[in-house]
């Protein structure tokens, strides 16, 4: 009875909100047609009174702005892959900490419980615990214990490749939105979801997931008494995802603590002020003076310091909330583990990227539809199916001409072929090189570790030198590979006002 009263009260509150809506500050009457919003007598076009986006679980608001992205320290590796460039990053949300072992085990538990007929989904998303092995080190205990033992619950998950990190973010999006519908009294808990009949945000919005309905929203449409939640209601959150490289670097520097009005009075080498990796006591009190600010290799063979005075108190990784947060409240944006970002790696990213929300890796897709234009039935895992935009859909666009833009304008052979030439994608026998077709003949391409599946990671890890802890530094790895010093954290777009005002 208490649950029903709570739900009824909530529905009344939602109804009152809809009826009292002022259309984002208007009088409740459309300024373009003169028709009243939220009036069932005139058709019931609904406009909700939306204040601002709520932060999803684990997220911190990163207010955006302009900054100089790239190198702030000497380029000791001579990579020349992070030349400084001024860009603008819009506001977004980011995880306060790296994703933990216990977080990822929760994900795996759900996969194994729900996809009973598809055990390969669980198996494909297991972290590679063999990343701990080294031919001349006794690291075998970490293979068994690091991911599973409760002593490491709050330590960052490692051995996760880029694809697995993205799959985790998609799963997290659905679990958070399902909980929002439960908290709003619209759906009830359903622990018996199985295989394709599990909550998926896209499937729910497309009307292809029902669930255990407690109370749908009241509808002001005279032809229906109630309705499902829609995107326009502002209840569901945007999707969790990996941050772009620009977002990650911007958040790591935390320059919001180095500004007065529109003046940036000093740049940073690390996520904190100063040129030192030890705490000088100025910000965190005298008791913190001399303590290391991050988890890294101090020098050859020194991973943790001397007994009785451990310098960073971590032989490998450390708990994700160790040390001091930066000025955005983010922990371990330097050291502990490197972190995957969304971008495809190119050495000349600073030259061939946009200066507004820079990102390389776009593949434009659309929901698959039948001949009548309806969204096609979800797949066997309960997910709405997508496809890349085809040539016909892209050819007359002024803002893009193809769906896959990972290789767009990066100066290599594939993106610079003249009209009439075509990249075959055919491997040369016994070689890692590939052919391209030009003027009726095959020509060899140049082999490289950098491909359209090579992704950026940043931040430095527990076994890295201090150089890699500067947020401007960058490295790359194939999206299917993983390491013992590489984890991730999630991000989410901030919709509406950048400042929330």
CATH of the domain at 95: 3.90.1580.10
196, with CB counted inside 10 A (0-12, 13-18, 19+), is buried
Q: Is the pLDDT of residue 178 over 60?
A: yes
Is residue 275 over pLDDT 70?
yes
In a domain, 357, yes or no: no
- Residue 303: inside a domain: yes
Closest CA to 495 of 86, 90, 14: 90
399 and 417 assigned to the same domain: no
Q: Is the pLDDT of residue 474 over 50?
A: yes
51-60, 69-78, 196-205: least confidently modelled range: 69-78
> Same domain, yes or no, for 479 and 331?
yes
Judgement on whether residues 109 and 208 belong to the same structural domain of the protein:
no
pLDDT at 219 over 70: yes
- The answer on 145 and 250 residing in a single domain is yes
Q: What are phi and psi of 367, to 5 degrees?
A: -65, 140
**8 A C-beta contact, residue 413 and residue 445:** yes
pLDDT(417) > 60: no
Given a cut of 80, is residue 230 above it in pLDDT? yes
pLDDT at position 25 is 42
Considering the domain architecture, whether residues 126 and 254 belong to the same structural domain is answered as yes
Q: How high is the pLDDT of residue 411?
A: 76
Contact 481, 373 (CB under 8 A): no
Segment holding 435, helix H or strand E: strand 434-438
Residues 260 and 315 in one domain: yes
Check whether 391 has a pLDDT greater than 60: yes
Contact indicator for 330, 247 with CB cutoff of 8 Å: no
4 pLDDT above the threshold of 50: no
Does 11 score more than 60 pLDDT?
no
Q: Out of 133-147, 251-265, 355-369, 406-420, which region has the weakest mean confidence (pLDDT)?
A: 406-420
Residue 500 within any structural domain of the chain: no
Mean of the pLDDT values across residues 182-193?
Answer: 97
Tell me: do 86 and 206 sit in the same domain.
Answer: no
Inform me whether the pLDDT recorded for 9 exceeds 50: no
* Same domain, yes or no: 316 and 276: yes
Of the two residues 246 and 284, the one the predictor is more confident about is 246
**In a domain? residue 31:** yes
Per-residue tokens: 31: 């300024």
- Alpha carbon distance 399, 401 (integer Å): 7
pLDDT of 61 over the 60 cut: yes
Beta-carbon-side half-sphere exposure of residue 162 (alpha carbons within 13 Å): 21
DSSP bridge pairs for 422:
437
Cβ neighbours, 10 Å, residue 356: 11
Residue 159, in any domain of the structure: yes
The domain total for the chain is 4
Question: What pLDDT, on a 0 to 100 scale, did the predictor assign at position 393?
Answer: 93
Asked which of 405, 438, 470 is the last residue of a domain, the reply is 405
Distances (CA, A) of 236 to 45, 209, 231, 445: 20, 15, 7, 47
Is residue 419 very low, low, confident or very high in pLDDT (cuts 50, 70, 90)? very low
364: left (phi over 0), alpha (psi -120 to 50) or beta: beta
Task: Please choose, from the candidates 317, 352, 321, the residue with its C-alpha nearest in 3D space to the C-alpha of residue 335.
Answer: 317
Same domain, residue pair 33 and 78: no
Assess whether 329 and 426 both reside in one domain.
no
Examine residue 501 and state whether it is found in any structural domain, yes or no.
no
User: How far is Cα of residue 306 from the mean position of the Cα atoms in its chain?
Assistant: 38
Same domain, 126 and 202: no
Q: What range does the domain containing 219 cover?
A: 2-51+185-233
* Average pLDDT score, the chain: 87
For residue 72, how many other CB atoms are within 10 A of its CB?
17
What's the whole-number mean pLDDT along residues 176-197? 97
Q: Is 90 helix (H, G, I), strand (E, B) or coil?
A: coil
Output the six-digit token pair for 434.
């590939």
| Joined tokens for residue 103 | 């977080």
A 10 A CB-CB count for 270 gives 25
Q: Give the tokens for residue 226.
A: 């109630």
Cβ neighbours for 147, distance < 8 A, ≥ 6 positions apart:
101, 104, 105, 127, 129, 157, 159
The structure's pTM equals 0.89
Distance CA(143)–CA(145), nearest Å, equals: 6
For residue 121, with 0-12 CB atoms within 10 Å meaning exposed, 13-18 middle and 19 or more buried, which class applies?
middle
Query: Does pLDDT of 444 surpass 80?
Result: no
**Does any domain span residue 498?**
no
The verdict on 254 and 334 lying in the same domain is: yes
């Amino acid at each position: 009875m208490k649950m029903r009263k709570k739900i009824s009260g909530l529905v009344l509150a939602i109804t009152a909100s809809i009826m009292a809506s002022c259309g984002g500050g208007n009088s409740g009457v459309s300024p373009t047609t003169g028709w009243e919003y939220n009036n069932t007598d005139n058709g019931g076009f609904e406009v909700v009174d939306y204040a601002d986006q709520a932060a999803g679980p684990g997220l911190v608001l990163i207010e955006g702005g302009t900054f100089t992205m790239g190198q702030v320290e000497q380029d000791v590796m001579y990579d020349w892959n992070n030349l400084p460039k001024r860009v603008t990053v819009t506001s977004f949300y980011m995880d306060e900490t790296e994703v933990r072992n216990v977080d990822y085990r929760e994900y795996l538990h759900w996969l194994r419980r729900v996809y009973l007929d598809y055990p390969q989904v669980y198996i494909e998303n297991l972290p590679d615990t063999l990343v701990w092995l080294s031919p001349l080190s006794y690291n075998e205990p970490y293979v068994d214990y690091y991911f599973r033992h409760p002593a490491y619950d709050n330590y960052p998950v490692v051995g996760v490749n880029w694809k697995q990190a993205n799959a985790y973010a998609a799963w997290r999006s659905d679990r958070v939105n399902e909980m929002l519908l439960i908290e709003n009294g619209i759906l009830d808990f359903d622990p018996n979801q199985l295989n394709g009949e599990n909550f998926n945000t896209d499937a729910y919005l497309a009307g292809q997931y029902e669930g255990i309905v407690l109370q749908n929203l009241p509808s002001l449409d005279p032809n229906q008494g109630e309705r499902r939640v829609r995107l326009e209601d502002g209840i569901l959150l945007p999707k969790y995802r990996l941050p772009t490289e620009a977002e990650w670097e911007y958040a790591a520097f935390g320059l919001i603590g180095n500004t007065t009005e529109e003046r940036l009075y000093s740049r940073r080498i690390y996520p904190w002020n100063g040129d030192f990796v030890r705490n000088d006591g100025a910000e965190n009190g005298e008791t913190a003076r001399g303590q290391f600010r991050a988890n890294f290799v101090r020098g050859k063979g020194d991973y943790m310091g001397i007994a009785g005075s451990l310098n960073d108190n971590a032989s490998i990784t450390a708990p994700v909330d160790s040390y001091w947060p930066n000025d955005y409240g983010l922990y371990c944006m330097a050291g502990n583990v490197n972190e995957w970002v969304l971008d495809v790696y190119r050495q000349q990213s600073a030259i061939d990227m946009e200066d507004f929300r820079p990102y390389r890796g776009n593949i434009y897709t659309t929901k698959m539809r039948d001949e009548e234009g309806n969204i096609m039935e979800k797949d066997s895992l309960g997910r709405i199916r997508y496809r890349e935009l085809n040539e016909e859909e892209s050819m007359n666009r002024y803002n893009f001409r193809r769906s896959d833009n990972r290789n767009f304008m990066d100066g290599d052979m594939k993106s610079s072929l003249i009209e009439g030439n075509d990249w075959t994608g055919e491997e040369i026998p016994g070689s890692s090189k590939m052919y391209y077709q030009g003027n009726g003949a095959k020509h060899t391409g140049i082999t490289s570790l950098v491909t359209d599946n090579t992704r950026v990671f940043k931040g430095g890890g527990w076994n890295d030198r201090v150089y890699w802890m500067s947020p401007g530094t960058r490295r790359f790895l194939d999206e299917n590979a993983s390491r013992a010093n590489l984890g991730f954290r999630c991000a989410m777009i901030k919709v509406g006002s950048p400042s929330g005002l």
